[in-house]
């Protein structure tokens, strides 16, 4: 799949654009580790790792993955899976405390994975999202990235345009060279998750694969922006 993405017109993913997986405990099949040195050697420059969910879940492989990623030279991102039924401020604090050690050079900004409204009305989820993002930015010093699906945003978020100043990580498995029309008034995407069935050396089984668009400028500079008041 990745090899087919080679068109370089505006808004499309260049063949040489930085790519990388996103992983959670599901990629540790039967407790197996991820060989991040193989991941790096196969040409993948970054990875997003699930850190936390709701108020009480920490990915049991998060720390070990982050340590080996640093040793392998893989830029690290960390995401929180939102539970919009629970306090956004408390979840932001929980996430920020867990990922504090990866808010340094080579690390990507914090990520909010927002894909389940838990049956709540759009207005309530929108308010939750504002409060979560504001708290994480205050705690980490970096503008968060929003991960979502087009259909979720258009239906469960009422296609609100209130967040289109945040970098967008969009999931769209369309088999094309770019995501489809973006939701929420976004004019560009920063990361695109283009498959959920990718195969990468060093990772057992299928994994999501993502590409960086360049929307935030040079990738290494973006990953090297340190939070807590600096930029």
Cβ–Cβ < 8 Å for 114, 73? no
Give phi and psi for 129, each to the nearest 5: -65, -45
What average pLDDT does the structure give for the chain? 91
What band does 64 get if pLDDT is binned at 50, 70 and 90?
A: very high
CA atoms within 13 A on the CB side of 32: 12
Mean pLDDT of 54-81: 96
Condensed to tens digits (0 to 9), the pLDDT of residues 107-141 reads 999 999 999 999 999 999 999 999 999 999 999 99
pTM of the model: 0.92
pLDDT at 87 exceeding the cut of 90: yes
Condensed to tens digits (0 to 9), the pLDDT of residues 23-34 reads 999 999 889 999
- Give residues with Cβ within 8 angstroms of 39, minimum separation 6: 20, 21, 47, 72, 74, 200, 201, 202, 203
Give the pLDDT score at 103: 77
Distance CA 39, CA 172 (A): 23
Give the pLDDT score at 105: 82
What letter does residue 33 receive in the DSSP assignment?
Answer: P
pLDDT at 161 exceeding the cut of 80: yes
Helix (H, G, I), strand (E, B) or coil at 206: coil
């Amino acid at each position: 799949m990745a090899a087919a993405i080679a068109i370089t017109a505006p808004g499309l993913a260049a063949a040489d654009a930085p790519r990388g997986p996103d992983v959670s405990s599901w990629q540790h099949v039967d407790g197996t580790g991820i060989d991040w040195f193989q991941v790096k050697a196969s040409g993948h420059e970054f990875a997003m790792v699930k850190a936390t969910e709701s108020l009480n879940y920490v990915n049991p492989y998060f720390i070990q993955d982050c340590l080996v990623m640093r040793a392998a030279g893989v830029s690290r991102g960390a995401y929180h899976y939102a539970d919009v039924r629970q306090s956004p401020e408390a979840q932001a604090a929980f996430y920020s405390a867990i990922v504090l050690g990866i808010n340094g050079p080579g690390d990507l900004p914090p990520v909010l994975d927002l894909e389940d409204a838990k049956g709540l009305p759009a207005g309530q989820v929108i308010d939750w999202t504002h409060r979560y993002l504001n708290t994480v930015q205050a705690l980490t010093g970096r503008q968060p990235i929003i991960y979502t699906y087009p259909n979720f945003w258009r239906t469960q978020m009422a296609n609100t345009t209130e967040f289109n100043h945040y970098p967008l990580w969009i999931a769209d498995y369309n088999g094309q060279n770019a995501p489809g029309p973006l939701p929420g008034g976004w004019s560009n995407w920063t990361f695109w998750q283009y498959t959920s069935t990718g195969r990468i050396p060093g990772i057992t089984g299928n994994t999501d694969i993502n590409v960086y668009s360049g929307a935030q400028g040079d990738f290494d500079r973006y990953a090297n922006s340190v939070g807590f008041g600096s930029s």
